[in-house]
């Protein structure tokens, strides 16, 4: 993939440091695709668990301002940033994801590899400048609390055929099949007093109880002072 630096123009000005989606000591790029659906039998007219979201794409980057490698940053404060994009069955489909789903059919088994050219990371992002962010943990074993999450408030769209093609991926080798790569989501983790922030300014926040971006500043005399 191209454009491996998570820069402010994406828009990710919430990040305090420079984060890079890059290969680590093992030469592996850090992208993750998390299947949020059990199978199509659980799908009722395209609505799964009262939600249309079927898939989550994670772009995983490490802090290059402080750490020299992904491995070093993995368990360190502010070490990792993950940009999360949800996918929903619908139109128009995201062409970058379509390309990835097509190439995925070349690597159905563990240990296989293929190279995908000319897909900028930004092409996987939805058409929105709005997001929510919080300090959280990895969704993979270890679950280290070192991640700054940035989650876009709109999904991209994919087809059922694209989703099905990814659900054919296997965890085992061809001669020794194992389970398919599906339902790979972790249990709900403790909140641990996390604060969720957003750049979304809801209409009418000045007269409602909905959180917004409006900042109120006022001054008040301290009654204990002799003025």
Catalytic option among 31, 67, 134, 144: 67
Decide which of 47 and 94 is more confident: 94
| Cα–Cα dist 159/88, whole Å | 8
Assess if residue 227 is contained within a domain.
Answer: no
Q: So what's the pLDDT on residue 118?
A: 73
Please report whether residue 138 resides in a domain. yes
Q: 176-217, pLDDT tens digit by residue?
A: 777 776 666 677 778 888 888 888 876 655 555 555 556 667
Are the C-beta atoms of residues 119 and 132 closer than 8 Å to each other? no
Domain-located, residue 224? no
- What total of structural domains would you count in the chain? 1
Give the range of the structural domain holding residue 52, as residue numbers without chain letter. 5-207
Instruction: Output the CA torsion sign for 179, 29, 8, 148.
Output: positive
What integer best gives the mean pLDDT of the chain? Answer: 76
Residue 126 lies in a domain: yes
| pLDDT at residue 200, as a whole number | 83
Q: What is the pLDDT of residues 70-126, one digit of tens each?
A: 999 999 999 999 999 999 899 999 999 998 888 888 888 888 888 877 777 788 889
The pTM of this model reads 0.74
In a domain, 75, yes or no: yes
Burial 129-161 (b: 16+ CB within 10 A, else e): eebbbbbbbbbeeeeeebbbbbbbeebbbbbee
Beta bridge partners of 89: 158
67 an active-site residue? yes
Q: How many CB atoms lie within 10 A of CB 40?
A: 13
Please check whether residue 124 lies inside any domain of the structure.
Answer: yes
Tally of CB atoms within 10 A around 121: 21
Q: What are phi and psi of 56, to 5 degrees?
A: -130, 130
- Domain presence at residue 225: no
CATH number at residue 79: 3.10.200.10
Which stretches of 137-208 are assigned E, i.e. beta strand?
147-152, 156-158, 197-198
Q: Please report whether residue 52 resides in a domain.
A: yes
Task: Write the pLDDT tens digit of every residue in 140-176.
Answer: 888 899 999 999 999 999 998 988 888 888 878 887 7
Element (H, E) at 100: helix 95-104
């Amino acid at each position: 993939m191209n454009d491996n630096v998570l820069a402010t123009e994406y828009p990710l000005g919430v990040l305090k440091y420079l984060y890079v989606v890059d290969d680590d000591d093992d030469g592996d790029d850090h992208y993750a695709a998390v299947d949020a659906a059990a199978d199509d039998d659980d799908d009722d007219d395209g609505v799964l668990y009262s939600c249309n979201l079927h898939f989550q794409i994670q772009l995983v980057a490490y802090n290059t301002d402080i750490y020299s490698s992904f491995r070093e940053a993995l368990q360190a404060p502010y070490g990792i940033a993950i940009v999360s994009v949800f996918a929903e069955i619908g139109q128009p489909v995201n062409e970058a994801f379509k390309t990835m789903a097509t190439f995925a059919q070349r690597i159905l088994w563990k240990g296989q590899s293929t190279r995908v050219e000319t897909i900028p990371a930004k092409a996987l992002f939805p058409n929105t400048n709005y997001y929510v962010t919080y300090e959280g943990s990895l969704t993979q074993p270890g679950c280290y609390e070192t991640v700054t999450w940035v989650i876009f408030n709109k999904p991209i769209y994919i087809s059922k055929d694209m989703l099905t093609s990814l659900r054919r991926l296997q965890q085992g080798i061809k001669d020794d099949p194992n389970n398919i790569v599906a339902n790979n989501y972790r249990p709900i983790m403790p909140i641990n007093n996390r604060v969720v922030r957003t750049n979304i300014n809801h209409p009418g926040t000045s007269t409602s109880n909905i959180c917004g971006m409006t900042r109120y500043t006022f001054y008040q005399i301290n009654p204990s002072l002799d003025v």
